[in-house]
Amino acid sequence: MSKPINQAITDYIKSQSRNKIIFHVQDFSDFESVNIGLRISESIYNLNEPGRIAMRVLSELDGILNAAISQHDVFGRYLSIENIGVLFEQELKLDFASLLDRYSQNNVLFVKWNGEIDTNYIYFLTKENGIKINTKNLSHIVI
Which tens digit of pLDDT belongs to each residue from 72-88?
A: 998 999 999 999 999 99
Closest by alpha carbon to 111, among 68, 71, 73, 74?
A: 68
Go through the chain and tell me how many residues it has. 143
Per-residue pLDDT of 86-111, as tens digits, reads 999 888 889 999 999 999 999 999 99
Distance CA 49, CA 57 (A): 12
Taking 80 as the threshold, does the pLDDT of residue 1 lie above it? no
E strand or H helix at 36: helix 36-44
Distance CA 28, CA 37 (A): 19
Average pLDDT, the chain: 90
Taking 70 as the threshold, does the pLDDT of residue 50 lie above it? no
Q: Are 82 and 36 in contact (CB under 8 A)?
A: yes
Distance CA 20, CA 2 (A): 20
Distance CA 63, CA 129 (A): 31
Give Cα 36 distance to the centre of its chain. 9
What's the pTM value of the predicted model, to 2 decimals? 0.91
- Contacts of residue 50, defined as CB under 8 A and 6 or more positions apart, other chains included, come to none
